[in-house]
Structure 1
């Protein structure tokens, strides 16, 4: 069986360039959606619930897109049609969202934006696995991290840069400032152009060629179709979900906690229904693949949970924390609040800039400390970065906090995929990358359903304490990395800067 040809640096550059545009959209979303919600009248404890569209969309969209992209072959290839259509709808959402006249319209546009971004993003992860040999996959994922960092820097800085250029940074109550609106217009344009570049400048292996390569089936993994698990295994999950929903109703807890009860209910229902479907039905196939996931994926799931919970703490509450603690205001119409919100955009740009630099350093770290050791180190840097926000007084010095966050972000976007990819069969690369997204989405759902309650009832209504909670979560994630079996921790590392192995 033949090995995949080694691609050149510029070939890998072209195949990952579209991630620049995707992250442009995500960065604008992460840095500005809470600001838009608060501008349109949302209370601080409502914001997590309004964010619920993002993780729910990823939970539903990514495995479905992965399932269908594994089975797609058109004139544009296997993954590229999804890149293109996702980019078109993402661009439209970015143009509409900052002009939302009502809060509920902005929340709906977040749903559309996140769904469209997920349609583009999920096949990109599988695209790297399809096109690159195991030896070059760390380069591909690190290159994606590089473009994520670069795109996020520019996108996060846009409102601040536009304000410096004289664009109005304040508006009448209930209206989004021009700095944010124009930033979203620019983001939509960049997103579409970057995706089109990758679509036009790359090619894909046909399915029969992929099956002929020597990495099509990972060693030690059972061959053949995974069996659908028995329905009996679903009843305990259904019971747990029903008990949880009953407790929320009976004790009058926050309604967002129904989301947590819905998770075991959904999985239990899937387990019960799947055996009654045809074996080739999508739900039956997804259930079988989920049940038969590689051991490495199960171990990484715990790491991903604590990693992404910490990140979501940061994305939701940094604007509220910085404007309250460092700028001394909660008035969303004031100049001080909008200056603080713009500075959060600068901070987000900074951590993404440091992530772009970290993407160059990570291959060296992997060679020196192994994949697990490198990920542990980077997650701890991120945890310390978030914790430091609570003790730093001068907002300018918060840039130092972003160094650690940047290294953690680059690591989260690359090293788990490097540890995982060799355990996945080529014909199921898309669906397993989509299933792996569950372990990104579930912690986000936990965050949006619990953080509002935790903030008001446990943390005294101080958003900065949520950032401390996020820092602790990243430290725990680092410890959980030690539980991951990493057979490639001493494999040759690949330099993202040169594209050469070493």
Structure 2
């Protein structure tokens, strides 16, 4: 969910010219930063959510036990959204390419969700009076909605971020591209946690009156600008479906996704089992450590 990034290796017989249909504008030295700069914003979003979402939800009145049902959005979105978006993007025939439309749509929803999370009470006040019981309840529900929207949309973005790297580069360049992706994720994590040490409302009062409000604006801006850079400088070649081939239906892709879970190679099943138990221990640390340290 946070900080993890990998590019699936190409098949043994993959052509070294794979990805030649996709052009990366700009100097040769910038091709890796251009492809991976969006991940900087992705990791900032995860860092802010991990460090601020838990105490913020508690301040709104959500119980610690109820928060587990809120943050289950992360594993759910990773389980279903990433593979589903990957399958749908693979068969997309958009003139803008297979990955970039999903990238833009996902970033737009993620940016909106972060702004909604930072300004939940203000959004709720549009429909209710301030400082009323109904405003408090609506604020909580909007905050929960924002977490779910953020997790589902950013997992969609990460899915096409990975796929665009594979589409754009030959197998010989996948390893350095993955290294650049790790750099962007690392810098994003450092920036996301470090900026929380600053008194942001005093530094940037025009962006909001609370730390969460200012952070939501910063995260949204960096996420969108980073992916806009990739969208504008990476030119995909539209996918042409073979004559007579019908586009896959959503239900067919969901059935395919479900059946493939039970037909994985044994080695992959063992890796997934290890990841299953590792996540059981890791996720509580991600979202409860901030509250534990604060108390």
* Both structures adopt the same fold (TM-score exceeding 0.5): yes
C-alpha change, 1:193 and 1:10, in structure 2 (3 Å) is same
Give the structure 2 partner of residue 135 of structure 1.
172
TM-score for both structures, normalised by structure 1: 0.45
Q: Deviations 1:250-280 (Å, cap 9, x if unpaired)?
A: xxxxxxxxxxxxxxxxxxxxxxxxxxxx9x9
Is 1:125 aligned to 2:172, yes or no?
no
C-alpha change, 1:202 and 1:25, in structure 2 (3 Å) is same
2:141 pairs with 104, 118, 126, which one? Answer: 104
In 2, Cα distance between equivalents of 1:302 and 1:135: 30
Give the structure 1 partner of residue 288 of structure 2.
317
Q: How many residues align?
A: 249
C-alpha change, 1:311 and 1:165, in structure 2 (3 Å) is farther
Q: Which runs of 5+ in 1 are unaligned?
A: 169-175, 209-277, 325-502
1:302 deviation in Å? 2.5
Q: Deviations 1:109-156 (Å, cap 9, x if unpaired)?
A: 111111211221111122222233333222222211211111222222
Is 1:77 aligned to 2:97, yes or no?
yes
| Range 2-11 or range 192-201, more displaced | 2-11
1:33 deviation in Å? 0.7
Give the structure 2 partner of residue 191 of structure 1.
223
In 2, Cα distance between equivalents of 1:28 and 1:286: 31
* Aligned 1:143-162 pairs, distance under 5 A: 143-162=180-199
1:182 pairs with 190, 214, 237, which one? Answer: 214
TM-score for both structures, normalised by structure 2: 0.74
* Aligned 1:408-427 pairs, distance under 5 A: none
Higher RCO (CA-CA < 8 Å; seq separation 6+)? 2
CA contact (8 A) 2:97 2:236 kept: yes
In 2, Cα distance between equivalents of 1:164 and 1:107: 24
C-alpha change, 1:125 and 1:299, in structure 2 (3 Å) is farther
Give the structure 2 partner of residue 18 of structure 1.
38
Q: Which runs of 5+ in 2 are unaligned?
A: 1-13, 122-138, 241-248
C-alpha change, 1:15 and 1:322, in structure 2 (3 Å) is same
C-alpha change, 1:27 and 1:43, in structure 2 (3 Å) is same
Give the structure 2 partner of residue 51 of structure 1.
71
1:201 pairs with 228, 233, 240, which one? Answer: 233
Give the structure 2 partner of residue 389 of structure 1.
none
Max radius of gyration: which structure? Answer: 1
In 2, Cα distance between equivalents of 1:281 and 1:51: 29
